Amino acid sequence: MSREELRDKLIEEAWEGLKNSYSPYSKFPVGAAAMGADGTVYRGCNIENVSYGLTVCGERTAIFNMVAHGCKTFTALAVVSKGNGDSAPCGACRQVLGEFCESLDTPIYIVGGDGKVLETTVGECMPYPFLKFEPQE
């Protein structure tokens, strides 16, 4: 599959994920799709809670879905929303993406309500990552 075909497939899957969004408070549905290193596409959507701090973003639900199915690495991610402009991952999502990405060059495709695709990478989203904890002996 070419990079363009992968991008288009993940964006399509992310739109499907958005259909399951539970966002009654913000009215801002987000969908995401991660391509696992195992070749499986894992969807996610934002899931809100009345205690807003317990809300989980679409990117994280896609990654958590992947991990729950036994895959620990993703090779590309798409995030979509119907909002104006793009819906770049929040700081918490960026940290989770850094934990499970294949490399900091792993592509992220971000699509807003205008349909424009912003192509970036995990490393560009999080230029100074905290990735590994290695305790000193």
The annotation places the binding site for substrate at: 46-52
Phi, psi of 62, rounded to the nearest 5 degrees? -65, -45
18: three-class secondary structure by DSSP: helix
Q: Is position 59 annotated as part of the catalytic site?
A: yes
List binding-site positions: 46-52, 57, 90, 93
User: Residues 5, 16, 59, 102: which is the catalytic one?
Assistant: 59
CB 61 within 8 A of CB 47: yes
CB 101 within 8 A of CB 59: no
Phi, psi of 5, rounded to the nearest 5 degrees? -65, -40
* Paired residues of 30 in beta bridges: 81
CB 57 within 8 A of CB 93: yes
97: three-class secondary structure by DSSP: helix
Could you list the active site residues?
A: 59
